[in-house]
Amino acid sequence: MTDVATAFVVIAEFEVKSASMADFLALAHDDARHSVADEPGCRQFDVVCIADSTRVLFYEIYDDRAAFDLHLETPHLARFRAGFPACIERELAVRFGSIANGGKA
């Protein structure tokens, strides 16, 4: 496994229609579950509901950019991409980063 200090972090954020939250979360959890289970380079994929809002944030950790690029070609992401536009008000810009503390608290 790659050193955690070089992990590639992806943060995606969505403003979800209130009436579509359950549908959006079902799609999101399918993508997250399959990412962790089926992609050796995906270390973590959290679906975070932001308190007192309709925002949902994805916090994803991959071994490296190449592992994330493989994620972009998966059937579970294709399912998410096909279904989520009807559920959201808007998608915020995806942000990329790395773990700065070397994985230590």
Domains of the chain with bracketed CATH: 4-98 (3.30.70.100)
Q: What is the mean pLDDT of residues 6-25?
A: 96
Cα angle: 29, vertex 68, 16; to 5 degrees: 35
pLDDT band at 85 (very low <50, low <70, confident <90, very high): very high
Q: Identify the bridge partners of residue 42 per DSSP, sorted by sequence position.
A: 62
Residue in 65, 41, 56, 59 with CA at minimum distance from that of residue 88: 56
Q: CA 1, CA 43: separation in Å to the nearest integer?
A: 10
Give the count of beta carbons closer than 10 Å to the beta carbon of residue 1.
Answer: 8
User: 44-59, pLDDT tens digit by residue?
Assistant: 999 999 999 999 999 9
Residues 51, 9 contacting (CB under 8 angstroms): no
Per-residue pLDDT, 23: 97
